[in-house]
Amino acid sequence: MSSDALTVAEEAHEAVRSARNSVRTRQILRAAARLMARDGSDAVSMQALADEASVSVGLIYRYFGNKQDLLHAVIAEVLDDLAARVPAAIEAAGADPVRRLAGGFRAYCEAIADHRHAALLTYRESKALGVEASERLKKRETATVLPLLHTVEQGVAEGVFAAGVHAELVALDLVMLAHAWALKHWYFEAHYDLDTYIARQTAIGLGALIVPERRADYPDLLDIR
């Protein structure tokens, strides 16, 4: 086999190995999120986690040095997804700040829904990581608010959102509404599916922001009939 062919084969093997490791890592993280959200991180043993993830304890230690590392990775995965999804959804929505904000909010809600158990851990267990790690995660979480904040500022500057709107508080309110799907899921799931929840919260939020003379431009978002 030529050296070029060998290189291609090695690269293909490495790609397969990397993909397999990524799947296993996600499998472990999702299992850890479920158990820790239910029982608390202190109560979850590595053996219980291995059983939940259908892997060996040894495999968990291959990827994570200890339970604290695992908890950090569970929370970081949520923040990684938010950092990727929200700006992408805002850009995909086009130039209109109203549709950009609606797209960003939807992406935030969907990411929280996909990582519902892990999102709970950001509230319940972050102190278990220690001060330094907790502060790093707080800064990363704060950064996930910025795309929404800048979009609100854009809307105010373009005159489609009311002048005097406090952009930071609006963005934080939207983030809290997204997190509420995880925090109060026991209630919301009995009354709404995720799409309905997002649509109704979007209508409430935008209804408070859009200036009256522009409301008729967004009947699909404000549920104007």
pLDDT for the residue numbered 108 = 98
Lowest mean pLDDT among 12-21, 86-95, 157-166: 12-21
Q: How many domains does the chain have?
A: 2
> Of 16, 36, 65, at which residue does a domain stop?
65
6, with CB counted inside 10 A (0-12, 13-18, 19+), is exposed
pLDDT for the residue numbered 201 = 96
Sign of the dihedral defined by the CA atoms of residues 123, 129, 132, 136, in that order: negative
Lowest mean pLDDT among 73-82, 86-95, 100-109, 193-202: 73-82
Co-location of 90 and 145 in the same domain = yes
Confidence band (pLDDT; 50, 70, 90) for 2? low
pLDDT at 68 over 60: yes
- 93 contact partners, CB below 8 Å, separation of at least 6: 99, 100, 102, 103, 104
Co-location of 35 and 95 in the same domain = no
Give the mean pLDDT of the chain. Answer: 87
Co-location of 60 and 83 in the same domain = no
> Of 26, 41, 65, at which residue does a domain stop?
65
Domain annotation covers residue 223 = no
Domain annotation covers residue 204 = yes
Query: What is the number of other CB atoms lying within 10 angstroms of the CB of residue 187?
Result: 10
pLDDT at 61 over 70: yes
Domain annotation covers residue 139 = yes
Domain annotation covers residue 56 = yes
Give the whole-angstrom CA distance, residue 88 versus residue 160: 22
Confidence band (pLDDT; 50, 70, 90) for 63? confident
Give the whole-angstrom CA distance, residue 110 versus residue 127: 25
Co-location of 41 and 71 in the same domain = no
Domain annotation covers residue 192 = yes
CA angle 138, 24, 85 (to 5 degrees): 45
> Of 30, 49, 65, at which residue does a domain stop?
65
Co-location of 51 and 123 in the same domain = no
pLDDT at 116 over 80: yes
> Do the Cβ atoms of 145 and 172 come closer than 8 Å?
yes
Co-location of 83 and 186 in the same domain = yes
> Do the Cβ atoms of 5 and 88 come closer than 8 Å?
no
pLDDT for the residue numbered 15 = 38
Co-location of 156 and 80 in the same domain = yes
Co-location of 74 and 57 in the same domain = no
Predicted model pTM: 0.84
User: For residue 184, what is the domain's CATH number?
Assistant: 1.10.357.10
**For residue range 8-50, what is the model confidence (pLDDT) as tens digits?**
444 433 433 443 456 788 888 888 888 888 888 888 888 988 8
Co-location of 206 and 146 in the same domain = yes
Give the whole-angstrom CA distance, residue 125 versus residue 56: 24
